[in-house]
Structure 1
Amino acid sequence: MIFRQLFDSVSGTYTYLLASRPGGEALIIDPVLEKVDRYLQLVRELDLRLVKAVDTHLHADHITGLGALRDHTHCITVMGEQTKADVVSMRVADGDRITIEGLSLDALYTPGHTDDSYSYVMGGRVFTGDTLLIRGTGRTDFQNGNPRAQYDSIFNKLLRLPDETLLYPAHDYKGDTVSTIGEEKRFNPRLRVKSIDEYVDLMNSLNLPNPKMMDVAVPANIRIGLHQDDIARKGWSVSAKEAMDMRGRSDVTLVDLREKTERERHGVIPGSLHAPYPALQENLDAGGMLHALAADGGKRIVFYCAFGERSAMAVQAAQDAGLKTARHIEGGFDAWKKAEASVVHRSACSARSGRE
């Protein structure tokens, strides 16, 4: 396995790059905007393909690199379903799994530092964001933080992991790079409390100054780049209502870009094909399923995903591949449901992708 821990000295942020093998798919956790060029250089040097970028929560001390990485690599951006960030491609809930080739991370909803904080467990490692730090815990006094929720997240979720689990936080200001769950149980001063009320009193008495970047970082991280606006200006998007009117037409094929777990959890648009986004290019290339459907005046492809970001990138790729009638549903499956359109909770037809 490839594992790299990268550091931004300005914000004290740790970023993690993961892959199962050289030449394979990669995932990055908590990227910092100013370090994006370095991440991309490392991805090239290790012969990797970045397919997912994850933020553990909405950061207040730096601007995330999610949007820039998406624009450079067309990767899927991932955050928890509670996030207020407006263009996250995939939103996960407690117990969901994030997968790339050869690796998977289990999502743990661990609110308290913020209301959208998640930790991610991978084998003998846990990436805790700002929930549980090395010999500390994340502050709980802004962004809907809650010390009671954090106590529950730490004591009833994270500390129940095996003691030997390696703990990798999103921040450290002392130079420590890794700990274990067992070490934090023994040596973390914030965890030496006898009750939840004692922990709440401790956190409420910290009186810390706001992060220096807070007024800039939070608004920027909520709006990390509306890719869909560019697609709409080009005339390549349709509304959920327009897509409803198209469904069932012999000259139109709706294509679901989401992953299998998203479809199982939320349902699908009846009659749509399944062509997962990571396999998009092979499906668009000559000989691919989507190319065969849409080439030479064939069917009009209408892509959709969870919220419209993957489908916006997909319609751009389809246009680049010469499929000029391709469109996408603006706002994705979320907009479809809000329009009270029909949804089914069963397997739909799947385009060949080699991924299911």
Structure 2
Amino acid sequence: MILRQLYDAVSSTYTYLLADEKTREAILIDPVFEQCQRDLAMIQELGLTLKVVADTHAHADHITAAWLLKQKTGCQIASSVAISAEHVDMPLHHGDHFGVSGISLEVRATPGHTDGCNTYVLVDHSMVFTGDTLLIRGCGRSDFQQGDPAKLYRSITQQIFTLPDDYAIYPAHDYNGRTRSSVGEEKAFNPRVGGGANERDFVQYMKAMQLPHPKKIDEALPANMRSGMPADGQLPDEPDWADIRITFAGIAEVQPEWVIQNQPSVTILDVREEDEQEEPLNGLNNAVSIPLSQLRTRIEEVPRDRPVVTLCRSGKRSSLALGILKEAGHDKVANIHGGILHWKNG
């Protein structure tokens, strides 16, 4: 099985990709709206097909990318039936199983942080995705959005701590850079619910906490009740001047074929050194040549009347040129994928 743990620094959210190595079918758990391009790029680069997006609960600190990913890929949306969110294809009940070919997740209802919290247990693979119910050395708060500390205690102790001790715990958040724990670790060391704490210990601890109101709750909750669909129902704006693909590394790229067909509408910036440009490229007629080592000092030579696509031998140095161009105020820029090595001679 393929497992990737992705991070959104703004909300400290973990998104998880699970994929079967044979069928290449994938599941995304707790995707973040603003990270949709990143997640799609990773899926494409790994040669996967996204089949299911599953949220562990209705988040209060970020907007889910579930609806947006459904528009982009045709995947299905799964979440707790208790949430009653719109656009959900698979309303999940306690005890259900869902997934893709080769990967099955058991649904365990774990309310207490919210009524609609689910924990997903990877069948026979010793992993559990706990959402906000159980965090690493912590747990979700229980002071808003149907929160109930007694219910949360029972969810953790009866639905998560009853799993084998070696099951790896992957939470929806961590605010200190920790990436995973285990059932045994949290049973022993979790300062709120571990080490023999009983329900009264836990409830009194949670009631004594004084936490600030989630900053994004007024925006996030209504959107998440729509599975992340914007209020106007429209997809976010994307660059329309070229057939651009954003890589997992965050680089905007166009294919050489697109450049050949659209040369009059763009400036081609060749950042190779002069001694690399001995042989002309078929179909490349109007390139501006400025070696990368000179680009910062010669940036004013780059025309500003058209978008700029950058070129080098392999596409590596030219990707660095994008940052230099953006710093100088060029907003429509993209790298030519693969550079000279991928150029199709016509």
Matching of residue 215 in structure 1 with residue 210 in structure 2? no
Contact 1:25 1:101 in 2 (8 A): yes
Match of 2:54 in 1: 54
Letter matched to residue 217 of structure 1: A
Q: Secondary structure at the match of 1:57?
A: coil
Matching of residue 134 in structure 1 with residue 147 in structure 2? no
Match of 1:69 in 2: 69
Superposed, 1:1-356 pairs within 5 Å as 1-21=1-21, 24-122=24-122, 123-191=125-193, 192=195, 194-223=197-226, 224-225=228-229
Deviation at 1:24, TM superposition (A): 1.6
Deviation at 1:198, TM superposition (A): 2.1
Q: TM-score w.r.t. structure 2 length?
A: 0.64
Contact 2:223 2:230 in 1 (8 A): no
Structure that is richer in helix per residue: 1
Deviation at 1:174, TM superposition (A): 0.3
Q: Provide the rounded CA distance (Å) in 1 between the counterparts of 2:197 and 2:171.
A: 24
Q: TM-score w.r.t. structure 1 length?
A: 0.62
Contact 2:23 2:102 in 1 (8 A): no
Letter matched to residue 26 of structure 1: A
Q: CA RMSD in A?
A: 1.7
Q: Provide the rounded CA distance (Å) in 1 between the counterparts of 2:99 and 2:173.
A: 24
The size of the alignment, in residue pairs, is 229
Task: Kindly provide the CA deviation profile for residues 9-48 of structure 1, in whole angstroms up to 9, marking residues without a partner as x.
Answer: 1000000001111662100000000000011001100110
Contact 1:166 1:178 in 2 (8 A): yes
Match of 1:318 in 2: none
Match of 1:301 in 2: none
Match of 2:286 in 1: none
Letter matched to residue 181 of structure 1: V
Q: Secondary structure at the match of 1:44?
A: helix
Unaligned runs of 5+ in 1: 231-356
Contact 2:30 2:55 in 1 (8 A): yes
Contact 1:129 1:169 in 2 (8 A): yes
Q: Secondary structure at the match of 1:86?
A: coil
Q: Provide the rounded CA distance (Å) in 2 between the counterparts of 1:193 and 1:210.
A: 30
Q: Secondary structure at the match of 1:168?
A: strand
Unaligned runs of 5+ in 2: 235-346
Deviation at 1:197, TM superposition (A): 2.0
Q: Secondary structure at the match of 1:160?
A: coil
Match of 2:314 in 1: none
Match of 1:302 in 2: none
Q: Secondary structure at the match of 2:192?
A: helix
Q: Provide the rounded CA distance (Å) in 2 between the counterparts of 1:45 and 1:22.
A: 16
Q: Which aligned runs of 4 or more in structure 1 are off by greater than 3 angstroms?
A: 224-227
Q: Secondary structure at the match of 1:79?
A: strand
Q: Provide the rounded CA distance (Å) in 2 between the counterparts of 1:194 and 1:102.
A: 38
**Percent of aligned positions with the same letter in both sequences?**
48
Q: Which has the larger radius of gyration?
A: 2
Contact 1:14 1:169 in 2 (8 A): yes
